[in-house]
Chains A and B, each alone.
Chain A
């Protein structure tokens, strides 16, 4: 499957989808940081590391993660479920991360105050 960077509108959909989770992740930043350091690559695989560091936190959010992946692949979530396995999903994460500069996107989402909207469960 050819993967291309997502556009502005999908980037914002992704931002709104992930912002509440990012707000929660910020509370657990030390664990995420540790996870980032354990990847010891030149460019940390942010989503993968997030999954490692926040496995328990994110367990209740498979729907949002599926939607996030569907947005990154430009597919409908329903189509995605039948076409991709868990292993393919995990393997795709670093590629999607690199193509879409998810770390940069994360920083932009934070700087724009989208994450702050969801602090303290707002």
Chain B
């Protein structure tokens, strides 16, 4: 999934069999997605069959499945649903590395990231928390990224009204506008600069371009 229209596709669902009965389970929306992630964390962090079984039951119930089927069927359903509800699209704003030495601010609390997601989307669009939680997970991320881009453009526009954004060039006797530096994920990758090499220092014979060689499919 790397398209907005895939992220909002209402057909995101799987069909499972439990106790001989087939069930179609839709992919979790953001709110349920977060809840399922917490349950999955409990399962992954446990080494006790009872606790793990409790987590599997809770997960399947949250997905709307009945307490039915053999152990093998229920575990297979758990695997299939976890796969269905895996985050499927890393957007550019999510790919930046976080500084491991960064100290959390004194007002930090657990799951604050999600509170911030809701806060940002809700305050921008005037939606309620329930409306935000009813978005598909990747859809919410798309809107969040759009908000960042808009916020950045607005900040850049505000800054352009201030003389601080202009640098005076003595040679031309004109002021030049210096835009805000964009975050890496917004700026994109810069094309590598082409370096010119003197002809007498070029290698002799056929030159193999390794970049092109790597793209060859064998």
Question: Which residues of A does B touch, CB under 8 Å?
Answer: 5-16, 100-102, 104-105, 107-109, 111-113
Q: Is the interface of B mostly helix, strand, loop or mixed?
A: helix
Find out whether the CB atom of A105 lies under 8 angstroms from the CB atom of B44. Answer: no
| Distance from A117 Cβ to chain B, minimum over Cβ atoms (Å) | 8
Taking CB atoms and an 8 Å cut-off, the chain B residues in 41-60 that contact chain A are: 43-44, 47, 49-50, 52-53, 56-57
Find out whether the CB atom of B53 lies under 8 angstroms from the CB atom of A9. Answer: yes
Please tell me if B33 contacts chain A, counting CB pairs below 8 Å. Answer: no
CB closest chain-B residue, reference A5: B70
Interface 9-residue window, one of B75-83, B122-130, B184-192: B75-83
CB closest chain-B residue, reference A14: B71
How distant is the Cα of A102 from the Cα of B73 in the complex, in angstroms?
11
Which A residues are CB-close (under 8 A) to B71?
5-12, 14, 100, 105
Q: Which of A8, A10, A102, A109 has the most CB of B within 10 A?
A: A8
| Distance from A104 Cβ to chain B, minimum over Cβ atoms (Å) | 5
How distant is the Cα of A74 from the Cα of B184 in the complex, in angstroms?
59
| Distance from B132 Cβ to chain A, minimum over Cβ atoms (Å) | 30
Which A residues are CB-close (under 8 A) to B57?
8
Question: Which residues of B does A touch, CB under 8 Å?
Answer: 43-44, 47, 49-50, 52-53, 56-57, 70-76, 78-79, 82-83
Cross-chain contact of B56 among A12, A14, A16, A101 (Cβ < 8 A): A12
| Distance from B61 Cβ to chain A, minimum over Cβ atoms (Å) | 12
Q: Is the interface of A mostly helix, strand, loop or mixed?
A: helix
Cross-chain contact of A5 among B72, B82, B83 (Cβ < 8 A): B72
How distant is the Cα of A109 from the Cα of B71 in the complex, in angstroms?
12
| Distance from B18 Cβ to chain A, minimum over Cβ atoms (Å) | 11
Find out whether the CB atom of A13 lies under 8 angstroms from the CB atom of B49. Answer: yes
Find out whether the CB atom of B53 lies under 8 angstroms from the CB atom of A108. Answer: no
| Distance from A23 Cβ to chain B, minimum over Cβ atoms (Å) | 14
With known contacts A104-B76, A108-B75, A112-B78, A9–B70 Cβ distance under 8 A: no
Find out whether the CB atom of B53 lies under 8 angstroms from the CB atom of A113. Answer: no
Find out whether the CB atom of A104 lies under 8 angstroms from the CB atom of B72. Answer: yes
Cross-chain contact of B72 among A9, A11, A13, A16 (Cβ < 8 A): A11
| Distance from B56 Cβ to chain A, minimum over Cβ atoms (Å) | 6
| Distance from A66 Cβ to chain B, minimum over Cβ atoms (Å) | 17
Cross-chain contact of B74 among A11, A100, A102, A113 (Cβ < 8 A): A11
How distant is the Cα of A111 from the Cα of B79 in the complex, in angstroms?
7
Find out whether the CB atom of A9 lies under 8 angstroms from the CB atom of B49. Answer: yes
Find out whether the CB atom of B72 lies under 8 angstroms from the CB atom of A100. Answer: yes
| Distance from A71 Cβ to chain B, minimum over Cβ atoms (Å) | 10
